[in-house]
Structures are given as structure tokens and as C-alpha cells.
Structure 1
Amino acid sequence: MVLEKQLRLQNFEDGYKGGGGRSCRTIDCLCDGIVEKRFITEGAFVYEWEPLFHIKTSNGVTKKIEIGVSGFIDKIYVTPGDSVRSNMTLAILKEDTFPSGCD
């Protein structure tokens, strides 16, 4: 399995419906393929670099989708077995704005 960061972050304005004043980000796929596994559910809290999806490309390589911020999953647009395209939005994350300790 190739452990590549296959995502593109895009900030939304705070006025995004459902944003609740938090910064929202899209979790976008940067490759074509099939959703092999989904590790998240709507409303769940995710930590930085936690695996969110596995995408299997047409050449059989599995790409791990992860994100460098913590927050709550607001919306998920794909399920296992769905075909995905490069730049397709997989989910929306409401970024956690509370400070936390780090290693």
C-alpha cells in the first residue's frame, strides 16, 4: 500500500451552510479510482493524519487519504465501491479550532 497524502485542502468561508462559524475544508481525491474503504462517519471527530479513505487506482495501487487537521466530519459524499475522479470532493470537515498539545 502506498501511503501518500492524496488530498487537497480548500478553506470555505465561515458562512458555509452547516459551518457553524468554524473553518470548513473539503477532502478531495487527487486520483481516479474506486473507494475501497471508508474509515469515517458523519459527525465523527477525526485527528490529524488519521486515515479517512482508501482509494484503489486503476493500476491496483491503494492510496491512503488523510488530512493534516483535526475536526468533525460534516458530510460524506462517497461510499465503498463508488468510482471517484481526481479533484472530486469526498467529504467536508469542520476544522477544530481549539488549541491542543502536540508531541
Structure 2
Amino acid sequence: MTKLELITQEWMSQEIVTSPLYGTIEEVLIGTNQRVDEWEPLFIIKNLNGTFQQITVGISGILSKLNVSKNDQITPGFVMAHIIPDK
């Protein structure tokens, strides 16, 4: 398993976490309204080659919205989650 450290994008007052690749969500490691710490694993994705990718982000805050669940198919740019960052 390799680790992918994503850069989030600001959208209104939140940061969005988008998929960097084509694949399948193997695990969702967080839940809505949970605290996210910087570089904490959020998702495990199985890419088209069968390799597992652990997804982290470089911000801390509260997960306000989760758009994926286990076994969901994703594509690059798909919005997986919204995080309200710490001030």
C-alpha cells in the first residue's frame, strides 16, 4: 500500500477532498462530524492496477460531508469529502 498526500481545494468556507485516480473505495476510515487531523488516513482506494492507495490530506478540521462509501467507483476529480478546517 502506498500513501497519497492530497492537496485540498477551498470551496466556500470548506476544503474539498477529491479523488486523484480511478478506482474503488475499499475502506472509509472516518465518519461525518468526526475530527480529522493533518495527514491522518481518510480512505483506502484500490486503483485499476489492483494497488491500494491510502489517502491523507494536509489539513485538520471537522469532516462535514462524506460523499463515498465502501465499494463506490470513483474517478479523478470526484468529490469524496468536505472538511471545515481549523481556523
What TM-score range do you get, normalising by the shorter chain? over 0.9
Deviation string for 1:41-99 (max 9, x for gaps)?
A: 000001000000000001011111111010000000000000000110000000011xx
Identity score, percent:
30
Q: Post-superposition, which runs of at least 4 consecutive aligned residues in structure 1 deviate over 2 A?
A: none
Select the structure with the greater relative contact order (CA < 8 A; seq sep ≥ 6). Answer: 2
Is the counterpart of residue 64 in structure 1 residue 63 in structure 2? no
Query: Matches of 1:80 and 1:48 in 2, distance apart?
Result: 22
1:10-49 paired onto structure 2 within 5 Å: 10-14=9-13, 24-49=14-39
TM-score norm. by structure 2 comes to: 0.95
RMSD: 0.9
* Deviation for aligned residue 1:8: 3.9
Number of corresponding residues: 87
TM-score norm. by structure 1 comes to: 0.81
Give unmatched runs, 5+ long, in structure 2.
Answer: none
User: Does the 8 Å contact 1:8/1:29 carry over to 2?
Assistant: no
